[in-house]
Structure 1
Amino acid sequence: MGSQVFHFLLVFFGYFLHGASSESVILDARPTILQHSGENITLAWKGVNLPTKYDWLGIYTPPTSPDDQHIGYILLSSCSTWTTGACSLQIPLVNMRAPYSFRIFRGVFVNVSASTNVTGSNNGATTISLDREGNPLPDVTKRLAASPVVQFSNYNEPTQIHLALSSDETAVRVMFVTRDPLRSQVRFGEDGDELGNTVDATSVTYSQIDMCDEPASSYGWRSPGYIHNVVMGGLNPGSRYFYRVGSNVGGWSSTYSFIAPHPRADETNALIFGDMGTSIPYSTYQYTQSESKNTVKWLTRDLEQIGDKPSFVAHIGDISYARGLSWLWDNFFTQIEPVAARSPYHVCMGNHEYDWPGQPFKPDWSPYQTDGGGECGVPYSLRFIMPGNSSLPTGTTSPATKNLYYSIDVGVVHFLFYSTETDFQVGSPQYTFIANDLRTVDRNKTPFVVFLGHRPLYTTDYRALLDTMTQKLVQTFEPLLIDTNVTVAFCGHVHKYERMCPLKNYTCIEPSKANGELPIHMVVGMGGADHQPIDDPLPSQSQPIFPQPSWSVFRTFEWGYIRLHATRHLMTISYVGNHDGKVHDVVEIPVLDDIKSGAYVESRESFFDTASGVQIPCGRSENIVAFLFVLALGCGCGAAATLFFMRRQQRKQIWQPVNREEASSSQL
């Protein structure tokens, strides 16, 4: 009875809004009840007289939101027949545990100048900000129409499902969201038709008063629901497990599967990137990252091709780019679910998850500002649970910040994640953990060591290069990374891909002299974000981009991600570009013991097999042309023979970079 009354009130409220418009504009939304998160809704309108390119459609949840607190908007002029005053479009709706409504407003004409903020409205008294396309952000002075309320049939539908490894090598954690604190569970097993194991979940939430600043504490707030957490333990290493989450009361998710971690595996498959963000089908107060959906597409493809082997995903900071707009977290987890529900998805903190005016560690030389949008790390800390127990009080009543630093073994690789947004100086708890961890790695178990943090130690982005923070990171960590023979250091923050030579103090060391003991630094912040110019010129120079120093071996301005494959003897790191999903840069790193002994790997296992169509050439650069020539002739046998011959000729070679681009590409 109660649900029927609630439905009646929602419908009444929707039609009340519909009747409140001052013109005979009709806005319809169909269907009015959606069964699952992500389903499409059709919005159709007619009767807009003398339409302008600034007329807009606002998206609201819950429906009681004031006109000026939409979650996003769509310009009517983006619809093909908008000039007739009538049109229709489709958008998917994420289940945010509350109904939606839609409203059309008359836009305001503004004589747009080069300024990012201009003055002008119906009465000339309002300051209007411009969006990224140069259009004024919506003015709510004149509403034309409102739609009926759109509901979901189940607000406790388990959504935002994502996995992570735990400190227990035989366990995998799963997290998901519902509206209410239901007694939820995970059911799992090796037979998809018989999920014989059941474990109860725990749940947590956070509130508006936990936010530390605007917009998270004001117009950006929406309830996050309850975040459930449960660990599937006692897994057989390397076996495929099927699972679903939910409850008999709130319903169950679809069935997903993953490959259990294998502590003694002889290889590692990982996908690595930073700064991905979220793609949404509308504009909002902040820029979003439309390219992120292509990154997810190619990541999904790679996981399918990895098949029945354990996999691992590392997202190194600037996760959702919510920046205080809570609905972007909902959209982000919905977007990554095809990846994160089938492979452990690991993160570390970036500036856009945390930075806020009152953060505890804020030395004079730091660049920390308000990049977290007032979230002060709360959503990041509660929506993810990473291994370890690192924690830092916020200094307020907000929950402590977690997931700061930790390490995890995945096959033959030891991954160490750390935070560039909290105290990392020598003597700090974080530095002490990092130093102890790196000095005690069992290189027999994990011969390769990967160091992951958000801000770069090395980059040719001049703003980061000249930043005191960058210098501090180099001064603090470079001696430690060299002393402990870290294999690779990945970072994000700068939104491009860049690979450095083996270097020390901004100076390249010849691979033969480096002897495999210097880390390779890579910038991999090309996961989707695009708001900053890739390489602005220095004010004193006329070049279109910042010049490329000798220690930068390869860089590109294209989005993409890293595909890492390692055996006990060789790590292969491939940069995959989003425009075609193909490999455009490769570096191969033999294991340190093989380098020192003069041994070399007789055969290399690529990330994909030959049938995948993504073969990675190897060998010295002067042999690449011959290899590609043979490959172009379609001589599969010849290509294999050439590859074998190249290997035989290079038994003593170490640290071999392989470029798939034209030589001039790295000089852009």
Structure 2
Amino acid sequence: MESSISSILKLVFFLFIGLLRSSSSSSLVQPFSSISLAEYYNHTAKSEFRAVNRRKLHCLTNEKYYLQTGDTSDLPLLCHYPVKAQYVSKDPGYLNCKKKVCQKYVLGVCVVHTCSGSITFHVVNIRTDIEFVFFTGGFDTPCILTRSKPLNFSNPKMPLHGHLSSIDSSGTSMRLTWVSGDNAPQQVQYGNVLSKTSVVSTFTQADMCSSSALPSPAKDFGWHDPGYIHTAVMTGLNPSSTFSYKYGSNLVGWSDQIQFKTPPAGGSSSELHFIAYGDMGKVPLDPSVEHYIQPGSLLSVIKAVTDEVNAGNVSSIFHIGDISYATGFLVEWDFFLDLIQPAASKVSYITAIGNRERDYVDSGSVYITADSGGECGVAYETYFQMPTSAKDKPWYSIEKASVHFTIISTEHDWSIGSEQVDLVLFVHVHNYERTCAVYQGVCEAMPTKDAKGVDTYNNTKYSAPVQAIIGMLALAWTASQLLWSLVRISEFGYIRVNATKAVLDFEFVDANTRNVEDHFRITK
């Protein structure tokens, strides 16, 4: 659908909460608003125009909700959270006024003409109604010219965003978690004849954190109903094997049939192939501006990772902290889950909580910051149900083949005295870095080159762990490189690891070029 737009106005088109069919695109620009334009022409002062135009909708104080999470990008300051926004000038035909219609003639001469254009939004099924809105005045003082009627999804109860996770080290069970607008239990059907019924949970606005000194977006401007989170554990599987499944019900519909791969059993002699990254967030699949975009990050990385999964090269993915960057703007979780689904629905997707999921004032987190936007771990723990001992105790360990993984949280209180490890993976710094075997800033051991020139750490005589930062947002390094820092890379990417009982082979892969930018081994 197209809309005629006055060529003298600077207009923006944005999407309110509520969005069309799942993982679809919509090309939509709403009808020309002659009433609003008449008011505009009769009231040339913008402030006077806004006083007359009762369709105004701007809330300047909402900027504080973005800023407290660290998002300093230019976003529409509206009273309802705008999921995404685009300038109509994204259509070059609008800028060139190729489609011109005269709106007013004087003595046979056109004195007012309008131009038309169209733009495309990528949307996902967020279960609630949506509106498309035209406004002028820029992002800081938006003034609405017209808006669509509320649009709804054809099936707001549709089961979506299925993702897998391991529940133990056996390789014989796998948890499937998905989202639906329906609270009645659904099923996962797998292995041709097997079936499990889902356990249903959700969270509410009352579960979000806030304080009188620092009101949170999750408790106010950024809140969106998450629907219902379904989870079911598929049992009776074989390790290192391929199965298929679908989830849903006859009442709400079924997902596509999906093939997935189980990981090798812990303690087995099988070779393990896994991928890991952190600090990824999301990026829109259209030219829109959105809250907390991580440009090029997960979009390029998840494409590369999905290719690895589809090629059969991966049995597990570890996303270790700073997951979606929703940070109190809850609808962003739906977009993130939609983005990772092509990979996370096919292999175990294991996560660790980060400051962007947990930290908030007076919430019990170690760091008293507003980084989670008031989510304080609630949304994360509902969407990603890892094998932890209790709520808000996100430590766990799991074995896959010859590798023992220990997942901790630096956002929670933890103590010294635990067993030592060979390799530590960190995020938060948005780059890649690898160290020597380092302890208290001193290299206890250095790698040596093997016959192929690969750095190799010999841990038959353990001295200290090798540490790697895998926050893949490709920001420029600002601090000088210290002696214990051997490699630094500022590119979007992920790590790819192959492990046997004797060798852990580690590669950093550039997600855009698919080139291996760093390669080392640890032997035992």
TM-score by structure 1 length?
0.61
User: CA offset at residue 33 of structure 1?
Assistant: 11
Q: After TM superposition, give the deviation of residue 26 of structure 1 in Å.
A: 13
Would the alpha carbon gap of residues 286 and 201 (structure 1) be closer, same or farther in structure 2, given more than 3 Å must change?
same
Matches within 5 A, 1:47-126: 68-83=80-95, 84=97, 85-108=115-138
Identical-pair percentage: 31
The answer to whether the aligner puts 1:43 opposite 2:28 as a matched pair is yes
Partner of 1:261: 263
Q: Matched residues in 2 for 1:332 and 1:351: separation? A: 17
Measure, in 2, the Cα distance between the counterparts of 1:230 and 1:236. Answer: 17
Note if contact 1:356-1:374 (Cα within 8 Å) is conserved in structure 2.
yes
Question: What is the match of residue 389 of structure 1?
Answer: 389
1:225: which partner in 2? 227
The residue that corresponds to 2:298 in the other structure is 292
Q: Distance in 2 between matches of 1:98 and 1:410?
A: 40
CA shift for structure 1 position 349:
1.0
Question: How far is the alpha carbon of 1:72 from its aligned partner?
Answer: 2.5
Higher-strand-fraction structure: 2
CA contact (8 A) 2:178 2:230 kept: yes
Q: Structure 1: how far apart are the matches of 2:298 and 2:238?
A: 34
**Equivalent position of 1:424 in the other structure:** 414
1:410 pairs with one of 400, 405, 412? 400
Q: Measure the CA separation in 2 of the matches of 1:301 and 1:372.
A: 31
Give the Cα separation in 2 of the matches to 1:202 and 1:348: 22
Distance of 1:344 and 1:76 partners within structure 2? 41
Distance 1:144 1:290, change over 3 A: farther
Q: Is the 8 A contact 1:44 1:87 kept in 2?
A: yes
Contact 1:45–1:86, Cα closer than 8 Å, also in 2? no
Give the letter aligned to residue 376 of structure 1. C
Where 2:300 maps in the other structure, the secondary structure is helix
What are the superposed Cα offsets for residues 307-360 of structure 1, whole Å, 9 maximum, x if unpaired?
A: 5xx611101100000000001111110000001000111111110001101132
Q: Compared with structure 1, are the counterparts of its residues 416 and 250 closer, same or farther at alpha carbon in structure 2 (3 Å cutoff)?
A: same
1:390 Cα shift?
A: 3.6
Is 1:495 the counterpart of 2:430? The answer is yes
Partner residue of 2:197 out of 189, 200, 210: 200
Contact 2:218 2:328 in 1 (8 A): yes
Verify the 8 A CA contact 1:27 1:46 in the aligned structure 2. Answer: no
Shift of 1:47: 5.2
Would you say the 8 A contact 1:45–1:88 is kept in 2? no
Checking the alignment, whether the CA contact within 8 Å between 1:33 and 1:153 is kept in structure 2 is no
Gaps of 5+ in 2: 42-55, 58-77, 98-114, 211-215, 449-456
Cα distance change of structure 1 residues 188 and 515 upon mapping to structure 2, 3 Å threshold:
closer
The change in CA–CA distance for 1:547 and 1:28 in structure 2 (over 3 A counts) is: closer
What SS does structure 1 have at the residue aligned with 2:229? Answer: strand
Select the structure that is richer in helix. Answer: 1
CA distance in 2, matches of 1:215, 1:38: 26
Equivalent residue for 1:570, pick from 499, 503, 524: 503
Shift of 1:584: 1.0
Measured in 1, the distance between the counterparts of 2:484 and 2:19 equals 57
Q: Secondary structure at the match of 1:86?
A: strand
Letter matched to residue 120 of structure 2:
Q
Identify the residue that residue 660 of structure 1 maps to in structure 2: none
Corresponding residue number in structure 2 for 1:376:
376
Which residue identity lines up with residue 95 of structure 1 in the other structure? N
- Residue 168 of structure 1 deviates from its aligned partner by 6.1
Which residue does the alignment assign to 2:61? none
Q: Is the 8 A contact 1:351 1:371 kept in 2?
A: yes
- Find the residue that maps to 2:342 and give its secondary structure: helix
Decide whether the 8 Å contact of 1:101 with 1:147 is kept in 2.
yes
**How far has the Cα of 1:289 moved from its partner?**
4.2
Task: State the alpha-carbon separation in 2 of the partners of residues 262 and 389 from structure 1.
Answer: 23
SS of the residue corresponding to residue 218 of structure 1 reads coil
Moved beyond 6 Å, runs of 4+ = 25-29, 48-51
